[in-house]
């Protein structure tokens, strides 16, 4: 059981690393803009791009968990493993596919990791919205 917990912690650390790298890359790209876009469609496309980027990061993290399940023989094929990992990471939890008893602790840690990473994405998205709509200070006369 201790080895399974170490796997879970390693995957949690990998997920945090992937997310940190992705958020950092997005921040760098946003900072290159002299100012945030104006106009409904330009703002909307920015939101779509950020949302797509965040989802891509989550999918990479989900693939890492799914890969471990297949590699370690906890789930026999990648398609099933990816489905299980997606349902677990997002805490949907259908329960139609489960890990063997000795691997079930990983499912819980994956769900907790997913909650944290989704919260991080939400916070990042909110920060962009707040920056976009913040009042610009008026110039002193």
Q: Read off the CATH number of the domain in which 92 is found.
A: 1.10.287.70
Q: What is the mean pLDDT of residues 48-53?
A: 94
In the prediction, which pLDDT does 138 show?
Answer: 52
Give the residue numbers spanning the domain of 97: 2-133
Asked whether the predicted pLDDT for residue 125 surpasses 70, the reply is yes
Q: How many CA atoms lie within 13 A of 71 on its CB side?
A: 7
* Cβ neighbours, 10 Å, residue 65: 27
In the numeric block, which tokens belong to residue 9?
């912690």
Which is higher by pLDDT, 71 or 37?
71
Instruction: Tell me whether residue 90 is in a domain.
Output: yes
Instruction: Tell me whether residue 141 is in a domain.
Output: no
Instruction: Tell me whether residue 62 is in a domain.
Output: yes
In the numeric block, which tokens belong to residue 56?
């891509």
In the prediction, which pLDDT does 128 show?
Answer: 86
Q: Residue 95 — pLDDT band, cuts 50, 70, 90? A: confident
In the prediction, which pLDDT does 29 show?
Answer: 86
Quote the CA–CA distance of 58 and 114 in Å, as a whole number. Answer: 8
Q: Residue 25 — pLDDT band, cuts 50, 70, 90? A: very high
Instruction: Tell me whether residue 118 is in a domain.
Output: yes
Instruction: Tell me whether residue 138 is in a domain.
Output: no
Q: In the chain, how many domains are there?
A: 1
pTM: 0.87
Contacts of 140 (CB under 8 A, 6+ apart): none
Instruction: Tell me whether residue 139 is in a domain.
Output: no
Instruction: Tell me whether residue 40 is in a domain.
Output: yes
Q: What percent of the chain has pLDDT over 90?
A: 69
Instruction: Tell me whether residue 110 is in a domain.
Output: yes
The H or E element containing residue 61 is helix 40-71
């Amino acid at each position: 059981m201790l080895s399974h917990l170490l796997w879970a912690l390693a995957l949690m650390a990998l997920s945090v690393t992937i997310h940190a790298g992705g958020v950092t890359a997005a921040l760098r790209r946003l900072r290159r803009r002299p100012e945030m876009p104006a106009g409904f469609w330009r703002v909307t496309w920015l939101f779509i791009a950020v949302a797509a980027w965040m989802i891509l990061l989550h999918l990479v993290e989900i693939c890492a968990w799914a890969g471990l399940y297949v590699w370690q023989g906890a789930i026999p094929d990648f398609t099933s493993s990816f489905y299980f990992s997606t349902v677990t990471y997002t805490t949907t939890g259908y329960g139609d596919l489960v890990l063997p008893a000795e691997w079930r602790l990983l499912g819980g840690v994956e769900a907790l990791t997913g909650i944290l990473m989704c919260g991080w994405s939400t916070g990042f998205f909110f920060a962009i919205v707040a920056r976009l709509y913040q009042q610009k200070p008026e110039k002193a006369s």
